[in-house]
Amino acid sequence: MKFLLSTVVLTICSVGVFAQQGTDRELAGLRGKVKVVENWSQDTERDGKPIYKNAIQSADEYDQSGSLVKSTYHVSAGRSIYFLLDGKRVSKYEQLEGRPVPQLITVAGAPETPAPAENKGDPRYEHRYAYKFDSSGRIIAIEDYKNDGRLWETRKFTYDAAGRIAGETISRDGKPEFDYIFKYDAGGTMIEKESVWYWVNGGKETTLYRYSKIKADSRGNWTERTVTQGDGKDAEIIMVESRKIKYH
């Protein structure tokens, strides 16, 4: 009877471990129960001298469980609202009140605002997300479907031996668009990002970013860092990034 009870307890504990899945907050590399992250940046000269005033670029908000519930894009004057609908994770995009739609020139980098759906499908949402997990509960892929059921974008993730995100691949319409490779210091803080942008004609462009003069809060989340682009003699300081973080 004692052996049977131990087996039952072990089974319950094992199920609990495998059922614990990664969250959006963890995927963003955030530590602790972060509620809101405001992302600010200030462009600089090659020597680090500021060119413009420090300005907010975006903000992400998470619920208690770590799910992303809202992303605000101050540059494009809009926001994405994430929620559950019929048990599925979905989102809708809306323009910020009183803010005109700016004319933007897209450059290589992380994906911007989710592309608006053409409203041919379910009008209650614009994008639906399907998360894929490995046996450890880590997020290994996020598939983004438009509201008519078409797969629009796929993000795939790999992890290093310490469980940190080592790489991310973003594909659209079945073709890779971006690759990111990350490196960290001994404390787990990101110090380098290699960005690969795949061109339509089959070529690609690789850009290296290094982070220095890193400041962090009491929970270990970075709050300020200097960004250097390029390597060797071509390296130049391009901006100072900062974050204002609120916790639950």
Alpha carbons 100 and 76: distance in angstroms, whole number: 9
Domains of the chain, each with CATH number or no CATH: 25-247 (2.40.128.720)
Alpha carbons 102 and 95: distance in angstroms, whole number: 11
Can you tell me the mean pLDDT for 216-225?
97
Pick the closest to residue 28 from 36, 20, 19 (CA basis).
36
Task: Tell me the pTM.
Answer: 0.83
Can you tell me the mean pLDDT for 111-138?
81
And the tokens for 110? 């992380």
Looking at per-residue pLDDT, the higher value among 66 and 102 belongs to 66
pLDDT over threshold 90, residue 9: no
Looking at per-residue pLDDT, the higher value among 117 and 62 belongs to 62
Please report the pLDDT score of residue 99 as a whole number: 61
And the tokens for 161? 């031996």
Pick the closest to residue 157 from 146, 167, 170 (CA basis).
167
